[in-house]
Amino acid sequence: MTRTIRILVLAVTLLVVPPVAATVSAQEEMTVEDAIRIGLENNYSIRIARNSAEIARNNEGRGTAELLPTLDASGNHTYSSTDEETNSPFSFGDSDTRASGASVALNWTLFDGFRMFAEESRYDELARLGEYQARLTIENTVVTITRAYYDLVQQEQLLDVARRTRDISRERLNKEEVRNELGGASSTDFLNARVAFNNDQATLLNQELAVTLARQELNLQLGREPDVPVTVSKQITIPPLQLQQEQVLERAEERNAALLVAQQNKRVADDLVNSQRSTFFPRISLNAEYGYSDRTTSSANPDFEQDIETQATDASIGLIASWNLFNGGRDKIAYDNARIEAINRHLELRDTRNRLVGQVRRTLEQFAKRLELVELETQNVMAAEQNLALQQDRYRIGAATSLEFRDAQVNLSRAQNALIVARYQARITRLELDQLIGNIQID
């Protein structure tokens, strides 16, 4: 009767609760490209960086550098009323006056110590600097998202290993329990199997927590709620590096975003020095103005039967030269500070280049060693799998002890974990190389 009830409960459960495998397969798998696309769309720092780059591009041009003239137009219209009491026969007496006018003024700086040209160059460099800074922000975000994605893949793989190890320990525990009940095994073997199973179960629980935390971190990097379900690939592929060390260094010199930012900062600082130097030269401007005015006065005096109308046009053109002789030394202070800032930017560029060269060489060495480690750990896994299969067969026929079987099981678990970690580290090192040589896709 009890067996019949169990069968009915199992059947109802299968009908009501969908299988876990079916639920997982129904959820669409997220690739690393999908993760990057979602992260770039939701990342606020990238939006700000792109807007800042657009502002820098808007500031680029001759108008911002004051190379072009300014043209102002103005107009006016006034009405005034006068109440006057006098005994003079020549007085207008009470009168109303209406006046209107318009003028156009042109101002064009012809020479300002070449400041205009320095500013034009500086704004051009600032526009490029904004683009490089935006690119650096995007690259850093892509690297962070990719690292979080592959960390989740790593943790999922480690979870599979922990689950398989726990299942093998459960099978061993069940066999030892049966053998112990039948008197075919000592209680020590059964207790060792129980301890091994509990340890593997604890490892599985800890690994489940690690997967949950890795999934939450990936969602946070994607700008989503931490508990959004995510299904990732179970494979970590390591793209080969077809370049030699000198080729990698050349690409890093040409395309590394951090180095490009440092170079642009130096160019901007140099242009600022030239701009500040212009304050020691005279300034010559061209001014031109054309105006028109119309004035009409109406009098209440009967001696003035007609309104008095006046029209006038004015035109002027001239050159203005000015030269600041002394302003408390502010111009010299500004020039000296700009020159010191340029020196700092030059030192910063040299430091960035030296660090980049050292980082490229160090990362290349790490990548080569980690590829060797992946190959070594792959061989270890193959050997551990063969050893465990052999010990399982010997354990079934009683030729191997429980401890020998456990040692083979632990060795396989360690080898599998080491291989997973080695592949993850090699993939992240390859990702770091891509960023160093400017090979991160940011479209």
Please give the average pLDDT of every successive group of 10 residues along the chain, which has 443 residues.
36 33 52 89 78 72 63 84 61 69 81 68 76 87 93 96 92 82 72 90 95 95 90 90 90 93 92 83 83 76 65 85 81 89 94 95 95 96 93 82 85 94 96 92 63
Cα 253 from chain centroid (whole Å)? 21
Given this model, what pLDDT does residue 86 score? 58
Name the helix (H) or strand (E) containing 73: strand 70-82
State which residues form the domain around 351. Answer: 39-66+131-281+329-436
* φ/ψ of residue 111, rounded to 5: -155, 130
Same domain, 162 and 262: yes
Is 154 within the bounds of a domain? Answer: yes
pLDDT value, residue 13? 33
One domain, residues 349 and 247:
yes
Same domain, 297 and 340: no
Among candidate residues 322, 349, 377, the one where a domain is terminated: 322
Q: Locate all alpha helices (DSSP H) within 183-329, ordered by sequence.
A: 187-221, 245-255, 257-277
Residue at 206 is within a domain: yes
- The answer on 296 and 167 residing in a single domain is no
On whether both 184 and 308 belong to a single domain, the answer is no
The reply to whether 355 and 427 lie within a common domain is: yes
- Examine the domain organization and report whether 156 and 294 are in the same domain: no
Distances in Å between the Cα of 306 and the Cα atoms of 74, 85, 92, 296, 302 are 30, 20, 11, 10, 9
Domain assignment present for residue 359? The answer is: yes
CA distance 6 to 9: 5
| Cα distance between residue 362 and residue 345, in whole Å | 25
Residue at a domain's end among 273, 301, 322:
322
Per-residue confidence (pLDDT) for residue 303, from 0 to 100: 58
Same domain, 54 and 76: no
Whether 399 maps to a domain, the answer reads yes
Q: How far apart are CA 381 and CA 373, in angstroms?
A: 12
**CATH code of the domain containing 208:** 1.20.1600.10
Confidence (pLDDT) at 129: 81
My answer on whether 141 and 242 are in the same domain is: yes
Residues 155 and 193 in one domain: yes
Strand partners, 319: 286
Query: The domain spanning residue 287 has which CATH number?
Result: 2.20.200
Is 86 within 8 Å of 93 (Cβ atoms)?
yes
C-alpha to C-alpha distance for 159 and 440, rounded to whole angstroms: 30
Is position 122 within any domain? no
Do residues 405 and 290 share a domain? no
| 28 belongs to a structural domain | no
pLDDT of residue 414: 94
Q: Is position 176 within any domain?
A: yes
Helices assigned H by DSSP within 278-401: 330-396
Nearest to 236 by CA among 380, 420, 25, 374: 420
Q: Report if residue 311 sits inside a domain.
A: yes
Please check whether residues 242 and 337 belong to one and the same domain: yes
Instruction: Please count the structural domains in the chain.
Output: 2
Quote the tokens at residue 240: 């080969």
Strand 283-299's sheet: what is its strand order?
70-82, 95-111, 283-299, 308-322
